[in-house]
C-alpha cells in the first residue's frame, strides 16, 4: 500500500507557499492520508486564524468523497454536486462529522499509480486562487490528482465534464 511521506508533503507545501507569496495571499495548507488522517498542516504568517481548520476540512472532504466515487474529482465538483442535488445533505454531513466537511476549490485527491494515497486542501485566498496554488504545487511536487489508469465509466465522465462546464472550468475534461 502506497503512502504519502512527510518529505513529499513538505515539498508540496513549499511550492504552495511559493505561489501564494507570488500572488500575495497568505494561506494554510493541509495534507491528509487516504483515510482522512492529518499528515501535515502549515499556516503562513498572516493567514486567517480559521484557515488551518478549513484547509484540513477541505482535504478530509476530498479524501472521504473521492474514496466513495470517481464522480468526486475535486472540491469544486463536490460543491456543485451537492448544490444541484441536496444542499441540506452537505450541511448534515458537516454536522455529523463535527465540521470536517467543507467544499470549495483548492483541494484534490493525490494518487500514486492507481491508488489514492491522500488529499490536500488550501485555504486563505479566494476559491479560484486556492485552486491555482494547488495546481502549481501539485505540478511542482509531481503529485497526480487522477489514477494512472482511467477506468472512470463514460456516464461519470460525461457528468463530471458537464459540471466543470457549469462552474466555468470547461478547459478541464476527464
pLDDT at 21: 98
pLDDT at 48: 97
pLDDT at 78: 82
pLDDT at 67: 81
Q: Are 160 and 125 in contact (CB under 8 A)?
A: no
Q: Where are the alpha helices (DSSP H) in the chain?
A: 6-23, 51-68, 75-85, 87-96, 127-141, 154-166
pLDDT at 134: 96
pLDDT at 54: 96
Q: Are 119 and 32 in contact (CB under 8 A)?
A: yes
Greatest Cα pair distance in the chain:
44
Task: In the chain, count H helices and then E strands.
Answer: 6, 4
pLDDT at 110: 96
Burial class (CB in 10 A: 0-12, 13-18, 19+), 10: middle
Residues of the chain with pLDDT under 70: none
Distance CA(150)–CA(139), nearest Å, equals 19
pLDDT at 119: 96
Amino acid at each position: 500500500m502506497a503512502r504519502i511521506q512527510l518529505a513529499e508533503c513538505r515539498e508540496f507545501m513549499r511550492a504552495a507557499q511559493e505561489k501564494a507569496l507570488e500572488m500575495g495571499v497568505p494561506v494554510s495548507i493541509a495534507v491528509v492520508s487516504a483515510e482522512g488522517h492529518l499528515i501535515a498542516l502549515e499556516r503562513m504568517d498572516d493567514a486567517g486564524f480559521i484557515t488551518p481548520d478549513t484547509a484540513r476540512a477541505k482535504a478530509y472532504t476530498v479524501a472521504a468523497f473521492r474514496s466513495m466515487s470517481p464522480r468526486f474529482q475535486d472540491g469544486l465538483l463536490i460543491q456543485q454536486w451537492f448544490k444541484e442535488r441536496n444542499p441540506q445533505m452537505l450541511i448534515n454531513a458537516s454536522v455529523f462529522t463535527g465540521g470536517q466537511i467543507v467544499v470549495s476549490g483548492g483541494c484534490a485527491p493525490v494518487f500514486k499509480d492507481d491508488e489514492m494515497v491522500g488529499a490536500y486542501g488550501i485555504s486563505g485566498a479566494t476559491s479560484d486562487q486556492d485552486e491555482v496554488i494547488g495546481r502549481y504545487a501539485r505540478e511542482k511536487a509531481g503529485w497526480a490528482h487522477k489514477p494512472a489508469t482511467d477506468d472512470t465509466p463514460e456516464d461519470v465522465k460525461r457528468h463530471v465534464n458537464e459540471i466543470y462546464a457549469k462552474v466555468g472550468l470547461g478547459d478541464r475534461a476527464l
